[in-house]
Structure 1
Amino acid sequence: MGEPHRIGIVGLGVISRVYRDTLAAHPGVRVTAVADLDAARAVAVAAELPGARAVGVGELLAAPDVDTVLNLTVPAAHADIALGAIAHGKDVYGEKPLAATFPAAQGVMEAATAAGTTVGCAPDTVLGTGLQTARWAIDTGGIGRPQFATAVMITPGHERWHPHPDFYYTAGGGPLLDMGPYYITALVHLLGPVTAVIGAAGRLRDERVIGSGPRAGRTIPVEVDTHVSGVLEHAGGALTTLTTSFDGLATAATPIEVHGETGSLAVPDPNRFDGPVRIFTDGAREWRTLPAAAGYADGERGVGLLDFATTGPGEEPRAGGHLALHVSEVMSALLTSAAEGRRIRLTTTTRRPAPVPLTAADRWRGRPGTS
């Protein structure tokens, strides 16, 4: 099997715990270094990972025993960390989004191309059995040629539960940039890249009230639109109607539905790895649930990085940077379209990532004795 793929983690917040658990159990990878703005936190995390050491960010980016930098910093720092890793000839895999803005995401990919390094990016939830089984159903003709889709994400706003929700309502926030990567990435897996968009947006109120934590009852300003809708035109001809909102109390809508010439498909929440995939075909009397037919079973965050680390030379990772760049432009174009009132053609495209064969949890976790 060769030497383990060596990973350095930058950013040790809450999400890093799931990544560390996934990576620590796999024999094909090894965390060699960790870094965080809180040096004490880095020391504590390093103590939990055999063979890892706590270092400064600059030292980690230059470390000779780091093959890939796992970038788990806040979105505003994603581009800077990625560019630093690339400048030292390292591959980089980051949490979504690829960068805080589309121009910054372009800069990351241009630097990686020039340096000959590879970029990967979450979400990797789309590699689980939920989305991949839905894709399998489409690819095997289960609903005929896809005609259109709907994608719906509606919540009353994160201030109800988040003690410090301010960033959701300032530049770079809002429902589209927060949750859009999950839905749009899923739609590209299902229906292919987007060629043009039309967007519309608005906001329910100009202030929000924090509902929990030490600042409960305080108001915060809303500086971005909190309801964004749009139509995505896919290269294959299908149309998607997308709704992302912080302005609704609840919804009974299926997260994603795909409707074809001979059937309809109900797709589970793309923020999860699994969930029921239901199909209704011409002549049927009711929906039926499909058994898992593809994807990483019992997926956890970090499976995309494992997939990334085993991608062959010259191959695009399933959770790859070109896909993340395309998703970034889709979101940027929707917001621009909403502001300017015009249809916008995209400048980027991407291939549909390779489908994931049905893979048992023990196998993708690299446990001995599994097939």
Structure 2
Amino acid sequence: MDKIKVGIIGCGKISSIYMENCPKFEVLDLTACADLDLNRAKEQAAAYGIPRACSTEELLADPEIDIVINLTVPAVHAEISLKALKAGKHVYVEKPLTVSLEAGKLVLEEAQARGLMVGCAPETFFGAGIQTALGLIEEGVIGRPVSATAFMMSRGHEHWHPDPEFYYAPGGGPMFDMGPYYLTALVQLLGPIARIAGITGKALPERIITSEKKRGSVIPVEVPTHIAGTLEFEGGAIASLITSFDIFGGSSLPPIEIHGTEGSLLVPDPNTFGGPVKYRRTGEEEWTEQPLVPGYEGNSRGIGPADMVYALLNGRPHRANGELAYHVLEAMWAFHHSSDSGRYYEMTSNCERPAALPAGLKPYTLD
């Protein structure tokens, strides 16, 4: 199997799991990493055996690197992705695709014009948890899906993250941070979204950092920190979703439930790859735990770029693609636009439900 040379731009906290996992996939050759802080890039390169640490400009100028994994902060996702595309490289970017819809369109248009691929996290829906739930829905175990609930209830990140400021700046907040996991999982399970009604709020005007690196620093809160709303899917199902950084005493709400005409399905946390999957059919008194399909149960970030390479080599669509990411980006903005206008937001974008992973794959393969 051919290997494709990959470079990572952005050596912050999330980069470690990509650097650990990329070499495990038979098609990825992680050859370089870059960061605004060259010392941080050098530290990560040394820690994970990456041959070269360099500047962003040097990485983009390397003709041997075919795919850039963009792990920068959301505010510069579009800038770095566009630079990589203009350098003739395919791009896989951490969520969200971009901060604004306008920038998202520019990225997709640039890729299309150059015949390049854009992929975007989250790829957690590749995991055994969501794939098992998808299989049960497609087998008709709960009948036709008619409704769903999804809850991401958190106190925010300033108590643990070393650099939490961007979570409360434009492009941050619970919807843009965690919404991609929940919305992508719902699109995988229920299909594309037709319209959204939302309302947003903010509990505190500022947050105090209690993690050690910047303990005591004050963060102005520039974005809504509690977003709630209702989604109608093109297939007819209706879902309720809350994403919040304003839950200061904890929550016992389940991450995702899908309810159908013949039963209900408990879906694991979409920020993980595994987790228990349970269903209960009409008339049954107990939940049945479904064995997970063989696959990716541990943290497998890096699987999205690997799937892009298989798609590139085999001429098929990749699953965590730009159209899916843009649809999710528009849905996240839809909650805010609906809240501001007091009206439903009618979705303008569409996407295909990603194909289920094939059964019986060897570890760290996708075709």
Instruction: Determine the C-alpha separation between the residues in 1 that align with 2:102 and 2:206.
Output: 29
Q: Does 1:276 align with 2:265?
A: no
The answer on 1:330 being equivalent to 2:331 is yes
Alignment check: 8 A CA contact 1:133 1:295 kept? no
Question: In the alignment, is the contact (CA less than 8 A) between 1:296 and 1:356 conserved in 2?
Answer: no
Aligned-pair CA distance for 1:243: 0.6
Alignment TM-score, normalising by the size of structure 2: 0.94
Decide whether the 8 Å contact of 2:33 with 2:50 is kept in 1.
Answer: no
TM-superposed CA distance for 1:51, in Å, is: 7.1
Partner of 2:308: 308
Q: CA RMSD in A?
A: 1.9
Q: Structure 1: 5+ residue runs without aligned partners?
A: none
Instruction: Determine if contact 1:5/1:67 at 8 Å carries over to the other structure.
Output: yes
Give 2:150's aligned amino acid.
A
Quote the residue 1:243 is aligned against.
Answer: 242
The one-character-per-residue Cα deviations of 1:286-339 (angstroms, maximum 9, x if unpaired) are 111001136534351111221221114653211111100110000011111111
Counting matched residue pairs gives 364
C-alpha displacement of 1:20: 1.2
CA displacement 1:243-282 (0-9 Å, x = unmatched): 1111122221110000000000010100000000010101
Structure 2 counterpart of 1:14:
13
Amino acid at match of 1:39: L
Query: Which stretch has the larger CA shift, 339-348 or 11-20?
Result: 11-20
In structure 2, the residue matched to 1:85 is 84
1:24–1:49 contact (8 Å) kept in structure 2? no
* Residue aligning to 1:142: 141
What is the aligned-residue identity percentage? 47
* Shift in alpha-carbon separation, 1:294–1:133, aligned structure 2, 3 A: farther
8 Å CA contact retained: 1:294, 1:358: yes
User: TM-score w.r.t. structure 1 length?
Assistant: 0.93
The secondary structure found in structure 2 opposite 1:310 is: helix
3-state SS of the aligned residue for 1:283? coil
What SS does the corresponding residue of 1:160 show, helix, strand or coil? coil
TM-fit CA distance, 1:28 = 2.4
SS of the equivalent of 1:106 reads helix
**Residue 24 (structure 2) aligns with:** 25
Separation (CA, whole Å) in 2 of partners of 1:146 and 1:207: 40
**Do the aligned partners of residues 13 and 205 (structure 1) sit closer, same or farther apart at CA in structure 2, a change above 3 Å counting?**
closer
2:149 alignment partner, SS class? strand
Gaps of at least 5 residues in structure 2 are: none
| Distance (Å, rounded) in 2 between the aligned partners of 1:353 and 1:117 | 19
Match of residue 291 from structure 2: 291
The CA deviation at 1:357 is 2.8
- Provide closer, same or farther for how the CA distance between residues 19 and 215 of structure 1 changes in structure 2, counting only shifts above 3 A: closer
- Measured after TM superposition, the shift of residue 167 of structure 1 is 2.2
- The worse-fitting range, judged by mean Cα deviation, of 141-150 and 246-255 is 246-255
CA contact (8 A) 1:201 1:226 kept: yes
Letter in 2 for 1:318: R
What SS does the aligned partner of 2:338 have? helix
